[in-house]
Amino acid sequence: MDYLAGLNPSQRAAVEQTEGPVMIVAGAGSGKTRVITYRVAHLIRKGVDPFNVLVLTFTNKAAKEMRERIMSVVGQEAKNIWMGTFHSVFARILRVEAELIGYPKNFTIYDTDDTKSLIRAILKEMNLDDKLYNANHVYGRISSAKNNLISPQEYNKNEAIMAEDIANGRPQMGQIYMTYAQRCYRAGAMDFDDLLFKTNVLLNKHPEVLHKYQHQFRYLMVDEYQDTNFSQYLIVKRLAAVNENICVVGDDAQSIYAFRGANIQNILNFQKDYPDVQIFKLEQNYRSTKMIVNAANSVIEKNQNQLEKNVFSENEDGEKIKVARAFSDNEEGKIVAESITQERVLKNLRYKDFAILYRTNAQSRAMEEALRKISVPYKLYGGTSFYQRKEIKDLIAYFRLTFNPNDEEALKRVINYPRRGIGDTTLEKILVAADQQQYRLWDVVVNAQMFLDGRSANAVGNFGLMIQSFQAVAKTNSAFDTAMHIAQHSGILKDLYEDKSVEGLSRYENIQELLNGIKEFSEREDIEEKGLDIFMQDIALLTNDDNDKDPNADTVSLMTIHASKGLEFPVVYIVGLEENLFPSQLSLNSRSELEEERRLFYVAVTRAEKKLHLSYATSRYRWGTLNNCEPSRFLDELNPACLELDFKPRSSVMDTGGSFQSERMAWRQKDTESFSKPKPKIVKTTSILPKAHVPTPGFAPSDTSALQVGMEVEHERFGFGKVVNLDGNRPDIKATIFFKELGQKQLLLKFAKLRIVQ
């Protein structure tokens, strides 16, 4: 039992309680993964058959890490655990049981691009306005329906749903959903949402299948339970109904995915579902300093709807959280970039020790520009991943078509790539013939002489023969040999090799890398099934965190806060802390939405291990217009004893709840009386701060065409200052001005609105 020796009392108690319903409330940085893996290892050490254990995660990365840790304790038996993402585990079950619900066992899994491509085709066939019926919106609507287990038939019978579509000017939405479902079924394909939706259908309509898996999975564990949606919740509840040996792990304070269907009530109401549940709280944060943990607690305690817990740290006290104020988003980027270079040198850090987090992807521009200007290497998370690149998707479409010729999206993608004389007109004839005869597209292709004439019939017929030859090769060859054969004989390799441009060379190298990956897959000793179809299933189920990122690259990480969940960095910068940006303007309509934004800020803060920097801009361009910005309310909510300001705030005395109340009031041009705030938990602090500038009566901007270095000027908001430098040519002259209250600022004269004092 020595593997339990390193656990703290709360962790050990959670690991050893293996029977009955268990909820583990795991605060940020509390060793959640260790508890899950040791709990599974403990079950196996007690004699539980690994085949009877189901562990569900949200990323392949998490599943892989857990399996490796379990293997280090129990050895090769860990390979027999049913462990993976919701989608991968239930895709595995559907491969076995799919025929019961009318699907082939070799059904295709459509990714997001395939789904949207099919939706666009349906919109075109129905002659609908693709601006009103935007493919992204339609996809989101269908996805939401499936995650709430609403079938096309139920959707079209629901008066409230139909009334909502009519009110939004999209009365055909129900018909689009019905047609989309029919086309997927006809193509033998499921999209990502179907993997859960169809599993629910399977378990509901076939009680013998439900009985089979209820008794197979005697022990269930669910990671990140706060992120489950209704469909996932129902599957788990059904599977656990017989034995009730269910353990869920999560943190309601880190529930940030409501926009994609996650329901925080699943974890908040777990005790109602299982009244005899045993609850364990992992409250010690091993990741962050006391300063960061105290700051995070001071914010999240403002949420009303949460599970009670007291997260603490026994790490070092740590440095205070630096707060920077910038005039613009570009200046904010400059401040962050320069801070990174200084911290790196002073504390002997690597670039990979730094992360910049933001609320929206659009904010990356200013950060990227600033980093590039001073040659700081960075990696932008959220870019096009390897398996989403066109040339990769083209070759994979050939693979998919080889194993499932009824895959219409794959067929349409490659029937004329590389070009083989099958244009849009011929494809349209194939689509019409299939629709009129109620045939699959593949049936028309292999019987092209019956539906097409002359060259078109020959070209389409030859394409069908080529795919059939690939099917024959796949039956007797390894994954790599099959893939190489398809890459060569489809013409893709030749087409890319002949493109000698830089882009063409890059695409050719990407295909080469894909084949290298398949080769490695073919030679793996830890899996039994090594067919190309199994490789395709693995890559189809890759989650967003599984992109082709080199974990060893020494680069600063840039990403949205949503993308940062589960990660940690020694030094973190959270930028754009402004009202209507963070919290988002779209989240201010209800308490639940605002509380999710606050949880998002909590997640961002708790990514930091040693040092945290916060920043905001006082102006930012939106749709070409420069707007004044207020500091975020989340800055007000932070315990001021945890903060160190890199600027001088605008009120004479810091209010007891936070030094940003006066900042917000000043930007609204109201008086600086502070609101009543809760007293800080660590220590009361006051600071002597300068008053907000009041413009001279009758303030009017001067003609600055004769402005010279050394002149004194007045700015409406920044106060009095002296010009220390003028740079550039008219009309784009930049003035560097030292303001008495704020320090040095650089302003573009044509926008600055300065009054020359002398």
What residues act catalytically? 32-33, 223-224, 254, 607
> CA 131 to CA 249: how far, in whole Å?
42
**CA-CA distance, 357 to 379, in Å (whole number)?**
12
Task: Kindly compute the dihedral angle of the four CA atoms of residues 402, 406, 408, 414, in this order, to the nearest 10 degrees.
Answer: 20
**Position 747: which residue type?**
L
Centre a 10 Å sphere on the Cβ of residue 276 and count the other Cβ atoms it contains: 8
Residue 219, strand partner residues: 53
Q: How many Cα atoms within 13 Å fall on the side-chain side of residue 505?
A: 3
What one-letter code names the amino acid at 683? V
- Find tokens 């009985």 and name the residue: 211
User: Position of tokens 């004044």?
Assistant: 628
The Cα 646–Cα 83 span in angstroms is 48
**Per the structure block, which two tokens stand in for 14?**
């959670």
CA distance 441 to 437: 10
102 appears as a binding residue in the annotation: no
The secondary structure of 211-270 as a DSSP string is HHHHHH--EEEESSGGG--HHHHHHHHHHTTTT--EEEEE-GGG---GGGT--THHHHTH
Both tokens assigned to 404? 């499932």
Sign of CA dihedral 329, 335, 337, 340: negative
- Where on the phi/psi map is residue 65: left (φ > 0), alpha (ψ -120 to 50), or beta? alpha
User: Coil, strand, or helix at residue 108?
Assistant: strand
3-state secondary structure (DSSP) of residue 609: strand
Q: Is 482 annotated as a binding residue?
A: no
The verdict on whether residue 696 carries a ligand-binding annotation is no
Is the omega angle on the peptide bond into residue 418 within 30 degrees of 0, that is, cis?
A: yes
What's the chain's length in residues?
Answer: 758
The partner residues of 108 in beta bridges, in order of sequence, read 189
d(CA 61, CA 63): 5
Q: At what angle do helices 230-239 and 192-205 cross, to 10 degrees?
A: 40
**Position 690, amino acid:** P
Structure-block tokens of residue 263? 């329901």
Element (H, E) at 715: strand 712-715
- Residue 730: phi, psi to the nearest 5? -65, 145
Q: Is 464 annotated as a binding residue?
A: no
Neighbours of 726 (CB within 10 A): 16
Q: Is residue 27 marked as binding?
A: yes
Decide: 587 and 634 in contact? Cβ < 8 Å. no
What is d(CA 693, CA 691) in angstroms, rounded to the nearest whole number?
Answer: 6
Cα separation, 43 vs 70, whole angstroms: 11
Given the DSSP bridges, would you call strands 619-622 and 625-628 parallel, antiparallel or unpaired? antiparallel
**Angle of helix 86-97 versus helix 230-239 axis, rounded to 10:** 60
DSSP per-residue letters across 617-686: ESEEEETTEEEE-PBPHHHHHS-GGGEEESS--SSSB--TT-TTHHHHHHHTT---PPPP-PPPSS----
> What is the token pair recorded at 224?
């990140």
Contact 217, 54 (CB under 8 A): yes
Tokens describing residue 84: 């993976």
CA distance readout (Å), 576 to 335, 584, 664:
12, 11, 15
Q: Which residues of 20-47 are buried (b: 16+ CB within 10 A; e: fewer)?
A: ebbbbbbbbbbbbbbbbbbbbbbbbeee
Q: Establish whether 28 is an annotated binding residue.
A: yes
Per the annotation, binding residues are 26-33
Per the annotation, binding residues for ATP are 26-33
